[in-house]
Every structure is written in structure tokens, then in C-alpha cells.
Structure 1
Amino acid sequence: MAVADKELTDQIQTSAEAMEATVLPCARVVHTSKDAPRTAEMEPLPECVAAQPIAAKSPAQWAYERLILYIKNFEGQLDNEHEVAMGFTAGGAGVLKIEGIGYFDPDIVTFYGQDDGGARTQLIQHVSQLSVMLRAMPKAPEEEEPRRIGFRLAADLEKK
């Protein structure tokens, strides 16, 4: 078999392989430390996320669902004195303590919360510009327990 023929056969998929490729996401992570915590890419997709084929989801819905998995994983590694916040990756806008996340099909993801001064804050972002940095911020001293938005969002995904 010629090299060109082999390359062509390597690219041909059966209909089952092609269908599976639209359903199963590809995720991978590599760390420099053997003691690195488990990350969202290492976890299996929850049934509520995996049930709908990726091709049937809008870019906003697919980004929203994966953000929830990342936030839940991040929160799972925090102590009781910290909550998740989002650092803005561009500009000097500061930090948003995440209180809610939403999406508006086909391509908008929205973050709701408060900035580090306590002012109501909302970030509306197109999925093509999505870049989120999760940060651990001290919980409000008047709060007995930290608020865990990632776990609430994940529970909401399972309801639908």
C-alpha cells in the first residue's frame, strides 16, 4: 500500500466511529507534579452532560456545561475559608466573586456576582472570547459556610 493510500485509510471512519466522535468529547491534561490534584479533564462527564450529543448543543450551552465542571472541580479543592471567584484575564477590571452563570444561545455566556469591593458585577461574554481564570478568595466573614456555586450549578444540570 502506498503512503498516500495509508494516510487516506487512516482518515476514513466507519459510521459508528463518526457518530461516536460527535458524542464523546476529547479532553486531556498533563501536569508537572505527580501530586497535582484531579482536574475536570480527568473526570468522566456526568450523565446529564453526556446524554445530549455535542453536535446538538450550541457553543454557549457546551461552554456553560464545561465551565460548571471546571468550577465544581476547583471548589472541591478549596477549604472552608475560601470561595471561587473569577479573575478577568484582560484589562484591569479585577475579580468577580461568582454567584451565578448563565448562557444565551447560541453564543453568549454570562457571569453574575460581586467585585472585590462588593459591587454587583455582571460579565457578558461571547464564547469565542471566553477566557476564565478561577481564583480562591476568602469567604465573607459574616458567612458561616462558603458558597459553592459549582455544586449548585452541577445539581441544576442534573435536574434538566
Structure 2
Amino acid sequence: MGDQIKTSAEAVEADAIPRRHEVHADPNVEACKEVPESVSQKPVGQKSPAEWAYERLILYIQNFEQQLDNEHEVAMGFAGGEAGVLRIEGMGFFDPDMITFYGSDSMGVKTQLVQHVSQLSVMLRALPKPSEEVAPTRIGFRLAADLGQSSS
């Protein structure tokens, strides 16, 4: 909030480059500050609201999974209503403004949520993995790998 003067080119560039910032009370939680190159290659103004929301959700899911132990997987709770929880097994977007989540509910029933980006409100949750013998599924890493491939 200084008196620094920016050229119009610097202002446009700053507007197009996504920034990320967070702070945590727990000093052991590593805050994510960098935006991956795969996300910042295409200017925000050239992305649909669905694509932009999808990319940022991938980063949040991946970061959340990095904090989980081997006994838990990522799921999402629905804000408002009694819709319950969905174990995230896939995610996508449909331009210009729809996001979809694929997964299963707490009873193991196949579930899909389709949501308009203006209504997007996701709470990430840690659910115990379904079986002790199986390694936890880390969808965030698969989504991030796809994000790197699809933006080139």
C-alpha cells in the first residue's frame, strides 16, 4: 500500500498473473504461495469462470491431501442443506460456468455433483479410507498432473 507508481503494462501484467497467499496458525503447515506454471501460463482473463475455478480447486485439493495421513482420503462436505459428504474420485468443468465432482457418498453410492461456479462452496474433509489394506487414493495429484498436461 505504498506510493509506488506502476506503468499500464505492469498493471495489466499484474492483473493477468494469478497470486496465491495463505497463513496458518500451525507452524508445521506449509502455506502455499506459488502458483504452478501450468496455471499461470494462460492469462486469467482468457479462462472461463469454470476453468479458473477448476484449476484453483485442484491446487486446494492437492494441498489438503498433502496434510493427510495414510488412513484418510479427501472428501467434500456440502455447505447448506443435508446433502452429506462426497468422497472425491474425479472432478471436471464444462465451459463456461459449470464444475462437476464425481465420487461416492458415505454409503458407497456413486454420486455426481454438478454446480454453477457462482454457487461454488466446497468444504474439504478428511474421511477414513474404505479399507485398511488399500493405500489411500490421492486424486489431487492426478488432477494436478492433468492440469499440467491440459494447459500446454
TM-score of the superposed pair, with normalisation by structure 2: 0.90
* 1:6-55 CA-partner distances (Å, limit 9, x unpaired): xxxx7x85222222123222333233x2525124xx33111111100000
Structure 1 pair 64–143 and aligned structure 2 pair: CA distance change class (3 A): farther
User: Relative to total residues, which structure has the larger helix share, 1 or 2?
Assistant: 1
- Is 1:14 paired with 2:7? yes
Q: Which has the larger radius of gyration?
A: 1
- Asked whether 1:38 is paired with 2:21, we answer no
Residue type matched to 2:143 in 1? Answer: L
SS in 2 for 1:38: coil
Q: Which amino acid aligns with 1:85?
A: A
The structure-2 alpha-carbon separation of the partners of 1:86 and 1:13, relative to structure 1 and needing over 3 Å to count, comes to same
CA distance in 1, matches of 2:33, 2:73: 21
Mark the runs of 5 or more structure 2 residues left unpaired by the alignment: none
Runs of 4+ in 1 over 4 A off after TM superposition: none
Residues of 2 paired with 1:75 and 1:64: CA distance? 16
Structure 1 unaligned segments of length 5 or more: list them.
1-9
Using the size of structure 1 for normalisation, the TM-score is 0.85
- The number of residue pairs the alignment matches comes to 148
